[in-house]
Structure 1
Amino acid sequence: MFRLLLLLILSVVAPWNAHALDEFRFASYYGDHMVLQKAPERAVLWGFGAEGSKVIFSLEGEQQNKRGVAYVQNGTWRVTLDPVEAGGPYNVTAFQLGPAEAKITLTDVLFGDVWLCGGQSNMAYTLSQLFNASEEQELAPKFPHVRVFMVALEVSDAELIDLPRIEVPWSVPSAEILGGPEFTHFSAVCWLFGRYLYKTLRYPVGLVESCWGGTPVEAWSSSRALQKCGLEDAEDQRLPPLTPLFEQMPLFMVRWSNSVLWNAMIYPLLNMTIKGAIWYQGEANTEFNKDKYACTFPTMIDDWRAAFHEGSGGQTMADFPFGFVQLSTFQKISRTMGSQIFAGTRQQTTASPQTPA
């Protein structure tokens, strides 16, 4: 609990300053062992450098070699690769020319399908919490082409250009990476989904986990999405501790402002090209803005689709697949209202989108 308390305090008071703005580097999302989106989509590479510098890129592997050029403008550079078929591994190298000459290389890069996994504790549920956890952890090394990446828990009042922190950098799966204390290691749902895809498709899969237990959909939504549902002026909300992660936390800590997770944990990912997203959330909205969920949830989906499409320069499909899981039949009766709140949220999850009159 102390770790999470300290994390929340630091996230609120500390500005994003993990790197010097003119440091030549890839954006925090990139790393060794990563998966980039395969053809027919085109993967996007971007990062930071010295203003006005020329950056030369090379993609080298057994299947093909590619080169490209970009320039640092307003502190960032960006290149959209030509389509690359599924496979690898590749080395991705970037050279910054000029007075601040530098070279950076990503190794063991695969091309496949990249999926974003979001939501609250349902998605954060760790592989070690499965009934057959030991078996699943032993199987993990047998799927080296399913790579995992985990965004660290952060909040922000403004949209951040880059991730403030990373919990798990791009990694080849292992018992150590996938196992661990409850709600602190990689998502069981995300992993099992990705493993199923790989067994079906037989090409690399990249999994990006960005979720936080006990969070409402409003925290994951942009301000423009919330405006469409009449929530742009909503005040900060204190939510009941619905998940084990929050049961021992002081109630004042369970406070979620609109868009704070969109700002810190989704917006920094928009430049990446993805195949799709999966979502598992809803408990936090069973007693908070519950009558708005039929608007806020589908509007968030539409907004994510538009934002990823625009952020990737049109490479992420504007109607990319967005899979979600309805709440289970657990907790049928509300502790406070006596109504079947989970059933109501399930109904609103699949209801026709509703917008304010």
Structure 2
Amino acid sequence: MRTNTFLFTVLVISIPYSLSADSFTFFNYYHDHMVLQKSSTGTTIWGQSSKVNDVVHIQIDNKEVAQTTVSSHHIWEAKFTSPSDNTPHTVSAVSSLGTIHISDVLFGDVWVCSGQSNMEFNLHGVLNATAEFADSANYPNIRFLHVHRQYSASPLTDIDSVDAVWNTPSEKSLSSFSAVCWLYGKYLSQHFNYPIGLVETNWGGTRIEAWSSPDAVRRCAAFGRKRNQYSQSQLYNAMIYPLLRNTIKGVIWYQGESNAAHAYKYSCQFLEMIMDWRTKFNTASLGTTSSSFPFGFVQLAPWREGEANLGFPQLRWSQTSNIGYVPNGLMQNVFMAVAMDLPDFQSPYGNIHPRYKHEVAYRLYLGALGVAYHETDVDFEGPFPTSARIDKSTSILTVEYDRGLHPIEVRSYNGFEVCCVNQTTTFCNAFDSHWINVTMTSHSFASISLDVSSCSHGNHVTQVRYAWRESPCAFKQCAVYGKMNNLPGPPFTYYVH
């Protein structure tokens, strides 16, 4: 179990513009048709007022549920018990300056969808976009908001603006919304049949440093000091910090391509960002967002066919804190979608932007059921090794797995490598020239066998790795899939005994 020491930072309050003498408003996050998080710990709502110390009464359908006082920073914030039903409500805030309303408000689960261009990739780009738009009308209880791109050198109290306020689904409203975010919400809605809120806040081509607070950046080595959307904390300040006071269920994340050139750093950067977001959401939301809220991510998809660059596989490994799977002892309440078997080299949007977002979103959804919603009958992970042993008399390396392998077919016998070194060497790094390709010779329900006879002449095998390529296989044609769930086993590197 990892013990984390967090730097608790007082929220910086900075009103971006002067208030008129009789100003009393909700912040930009709050609009008609929105979804607020349904939570046993309460739900937050907040806004601003020009009248310090004024009392604000929060009402749901004209019944008071909470009251609060305007702070010296002109902020009012309240926590209330959310309704238990799935029907629309009117939420009001009443003060001496007047009454403000948001109507058609649902209470359900709110997920934040963040990252770079593959999270930004909109629904128009998926392979069956026309059918998806037509089907969207069947999900009126899914509501979504798109945060406008903005960067800032200091934390902003409110989101600068929104590209789309809380919308109900239609072809027009979904035309520029994240495909992964929408499809993930759709699968959740189909399963639970209650309201789902989706908050898209992303920016293509950005690095993780830009989405990390100064606290998280300090805990890992940083680079890049320019003031733009690529440099540290600029997007956190403008597109995450203003959301911290809101109650959410969890986050899904699709990012990492822009950090592949420095993949070794990512294991620290990603973990620290997750833990830091959890702490800051929990503190700013008056404890209504869990301090261990579920966090799902997409492991990097393929990019270029036949490319030997090892930055992508190393970053996939770093995304799991160098353990290979999640959740794990470092990354608790974390789930992932393996996407390395979903290449789209002919994508009209560039082969770094595969169109197979349905598969990505569905794999995230399965992970959410198992990790975020604690459903015990969901098999949401692909197979992962538990041991790797070599029979020196036959030069056969046997890799045993923790869950059953797909029994029907082996889609590929390739993708495996061993570290072949002299007797005095015990380790190969990811870029070492001593890695050699080996072939699967047989498989069973629980193991595979590899012929390692090519490692000879006084050398020996110390490690085995799998799918350690930028684009390791053709579409859904990797070597290892699960017996029951047909999910791909993730890439790994493992010591041989």
TM-score by length of 2: 0.59
- 1:303 paired with 2:302, answer no
- 1:235 paired with 2:205, answer no
Q: 1:169 corresponds to which letter in structure 2?
A: V
TM-score by length of 1: 0.82
- 1:38 paired with 2:38, answer yes
Q: Percent identity?
A: 40
- Aligned counterparts, 1:111-150, within 5 A: 111-150=107-146
1:68 to partner: Cα distance: 2.2
- 1:170 paired with 2:140, answer no
- Aligned counterparts, 1:203-214, within 5 A: 203-214=194-205
Q: 2:242 corresponds to which letter in structure 1?
A: P
1:19 to partner: Cα distance: 6.4
2:287 paired residue among 311, 314, 336: 314
CA 285–178 in structure 1, closer or farther in 2 if over 3 Å, else same: same
- 1:285 paired with 2:284, answer no
**CA distance in 2 between partners of 1:22 and 1:257 (Å):** 38
**CA distance in 1 between partners of 2:128 and 2:209 (Å):** 34
Deviation string 1:103-133 (CA, Å, 9 cap, x unpaired) is: 1100000000000000000100000001101
Give 1:6's aligned residue. none
**CA distance in 1 between partners of 2:163 and 2:133 (Å):** 19
Give 1:186's aligned residue. 177
Give 2:67's aligned residue. 69
Give 1:339's aligned residue. 309
CA 203–255 in structure 1, closer or farther in 2 if over 3 Å, else same: closer
**CA distance in 2 between partners of 1:194 and 1:18 (Å):** 37
Alpha carbons 2:142, 2:185 under 8 Å: kept: yes
**CA distance in 1 between partners of 2:252 and 2:170 (Å):** 22
- 1:276 paired with 2:239, answer no
Q: 1:115 corresponds to which letter in structure 2?
A: W
**CA distance in 2 between partners of 1:90 and 1:312 (Å):** 21
Alpha carbons 1:35, 1:147 under 8 Å: kept: yes
> Which ranges in structure 2 are unaligned for 5 or more consecutive residues?
1-14, 323-329, 332-497
**CA distance in 2 between partners of 1:297 and 1:312 (Å):** 22
Structure number, greater radius of gyration: 2
**Aligned-pair Cα RMSD in Å:** 2.1
Give 1:52's aligned residue. 53
1:256 to partner: Cα distance: 1.6
CA 19–277 in structure 1, closer or farther in 2 if over 3 Å, else same: farther
1:22 to partner: Cα distance: 6.4
Runs (4 or more) in structure 1 with deviation over 6 Å come to none
| Secondary structure in structure 2 of the residue aligned to 1:347 | helix
Give 1:351's aligned residue. 321
CA 223–329 in structure 1, closer or farther in 2 if over 3 Å, else same: same
- 1:266 paired with 2:264, answer no
Comparing both chains, which one has the higher relative contact order based on Cα–Cα distances under 8 Å and sequence gaps of 6 or more?
A: 1
Q: 2:47 corresponds to which letter in structure 1?
A: G
CA 73–297 in structure 1, closer or farther in 2 if over 3 Å, else same: same
Q: 1:107 corresponds to which letter in structure 2?
A: S
| Secondary structure in structure 2 of the residue aligned to 1:342 | helix
Alpha carbons 1:40, 1:84 under 8 Å: kept: no
Structure with the larger helix share:
1
Deviation string 1:180-235 (CA, Å, 9 cap, x unpaired) is: xxxxx11000000001001001110000000010000000000100111132xx33
1:345 to partner: Cα distance: 1.0
**CA distance in 2 between partners of 1:171 and 1:78 (Å):** 24
CA 292–20 in structure 1, closer or farther in 2 if over 3 Å, else same: farther
Alpha carbons 1:127, 1:186 under 8 Å: kept: yes
Deviation string 1:278-308 (CA, Å, 9 cap, x unpaired) is: 0001111012x32210100111001111111
Alpha carbons 2:151, 2:229 under 8 Å: kept: no
1:55 to partner: Cα distance: 1.3
**CA distance in 1 between partners of 2:53 and 2:191 (Å):** 45
CA 22–300 in structure 1, closer or farther in 2 if over 3 Å, else same: farther
CA 212–86 in structure 1, closer or farther in 2 if over 3 Å, else same: farther
**CA distance in 1 between partners of 2:53 and 2:18 (Å):** 22
**CA distance in 2 between partners of 1:84 and 1:28 (Å):** 23
**CA distance in 2 between partners of 1:272 and 1:261 (Å):** 17
**CA distance in 1 between partners of 2:22 and 2:245 (Å):** 19
Number of equivalences: 308
Alpha carbons 1:333, 1:341 under 8 Å: kept: no
**CA distance in 1 between partners of 2:21 and 2:316 (Å):** 45
**CA distance in 2 between partners of 1:347 and 1:172 (Å):** 38
Alpha carbons 1:58, 1:67 under 8 Å: kept: yes
1:57 to partner: Cα distance: 1.7
1:202 paired residue among 189, 193, 199: 193
CA 146–19 in structure 1, closer or farther in 2 if over 3 Å, else same: farther
1:70 to partner: Cα distance: 1.4
Alpha carbons 2:268, 2:321 under 8 Å: kept: no
**CA distance in 2 between partners of 1:41 and 1:137 (Å):** 36
> Which ranges in structure 1 are unaligned for 5 or more consecutive residues?
1-14, 180-184, 239-253
Give 1:85's aligned residue. 84
Alpha carbons 2:153, 2:237 under 8 Å: kept: yes
